[in-house]
């Protein structure tokens, strides 16, 4: 992959991403989409026209059957490059956003999660136990620094939350034990707790972790039709906490949601609240 056309805009893209306070995850995603567009047309991304980009989005939708979220991310990457690196403003109607249909995320039981964890490498187990035990996004877990783990107060400092907003969340005993085992074995030089092998100052990439977690689940539970990713662990954290009696406001703070409306989605993933309710038609017959 990425062998036909070289991508020569790393420095410019990173500069514009950093100037806007966007995350390294955004840089990696934008760069990946821009390189794929360039490879598809076998020419420098600078030479790809808006009309060609539109055809590429149709290709992703109709041939590759990519999700609306992927289409919109690809669109955002192309628009960002055109406007902020080439100084070429594109009206929004040229590459319209794809309508996103919100679906409830899949969840699995704690037992199934721990079964999968026991089949992972120690490093992956440590990272994903933070996702489940603390409700972190995979990007947030990978960005954790050594000093962010407070074992005395049993909390984690999330320094790179969505929207650039830091927060604290809980630290589980299970995750702490995994982290201690990982520390003893790997001794990361810091500050990144999960650094790349080649660059110890940068956190490791999420791509391989996502695939490994998903593939391991499918192997262990071949009859399941659920789409399981590291983000599933965040949804499980939320629903399992609700089932144990946590209130929505506390959960909102732990997850770092700007609006409690986002948090309330997880109510639909648990039967606990529904079991306590009686339909008004049944009340009238009592």
According to DSSP, the residues that pair with 97 across neighbouring strands are none
Percent helix / strand / coil, the chain, rounded to 5: 55, 5, 40
Residue 167 a catalytic site member:
no
**Active-site residue, from 46, 162, 167, 218:** 162
**Active-site residue, from 31, 124, 125, 137:** 137
Q: What Rg do the C-alpha atoms of the chain give, in angstroms?
A: 21
Residue 75 a catalytic site member:
no
Distance CA 246, CA 168 (A): 16
Nearest to 193 by CA among 232, 160, 236: 160
**Active-site residue, from 234, 240, 249, 273:** 234
For helices 230-243 and 248-255, give the axis angle rounded to 10 degrees.
160
Sequence-distant (6+) residues with CB within 8 A of 11 are none
Distance CA 215, CA 33 (A): 23
177 SS3 class:
helix
Residue 231 a catalytic site member:
yes
Residue 174 a catalytic site member:
no
Contact 146, 200 (CB under 8 A): no
- Residue 105 per-residue DSSP state: P
Strand blocks (E) in the chain: 149-150, 155-158, 167-170
Name the residues annotated as catalytic: 137, 162, 231, 234, 257, 266
């Amino acid at each position: 992959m990425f062998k036909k056309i070289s991508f020569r805009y790393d420095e410019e893209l990173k500069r514009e991403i950093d100037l806007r306070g966007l995350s390294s995850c955004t840089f990696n995603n934008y760069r990946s989409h821009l390189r794929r567009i360039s490879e598809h047309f076998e020419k420098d991304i600078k030479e790809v026209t808006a009309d060609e980009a539109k055809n590429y989005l149709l290709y992703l939708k109709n041939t590759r059957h990519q999700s609306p979220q992927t289409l919109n991310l690809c669109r955002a990457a192309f628009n960002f490059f055109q406007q902020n690196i080439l100084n070429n403003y594109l009206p929004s109607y040229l590459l319209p956003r794809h309508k996103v249909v919100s679906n409830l995320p899949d969840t699995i039981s704690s037992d199934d999660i721990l079964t999968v964890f026991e089949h992972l490498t120690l490093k992956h187990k440590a990272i994903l136990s933070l996702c489940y035990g603390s409700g972190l996004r995979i990007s947030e877990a990978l960005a954790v620094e050594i000093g962010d783990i407070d074992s005395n107060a049993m909390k984690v400092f999330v320094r790179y939350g969505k929207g650039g907003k830091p927060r604290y969340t809980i630290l589980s005993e299970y995750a702490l034990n995994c982290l201690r085992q990982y520390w003893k074995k790997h001794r990361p030089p810091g500050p990144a707790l999960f650094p790349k092998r080649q660059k110890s100052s940068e956190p490791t990439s999420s791509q391989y972790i996502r695939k490994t977690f998903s593939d391991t689940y499918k192997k262990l539970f071949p009859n399941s039709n659920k789409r399981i990713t590291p983000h599933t662990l965040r949804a499980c954290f939320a629903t399992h906490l609700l089932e144990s009696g946590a209130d929505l406001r506390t959960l909102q703070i732990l997850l770092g949601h700007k609006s409690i409306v986002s948090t309330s989605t997880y109510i639909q993933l648990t039967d606990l609240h529904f079991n306590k309710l009686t339909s008004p038609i049944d009340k009238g017959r009592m």
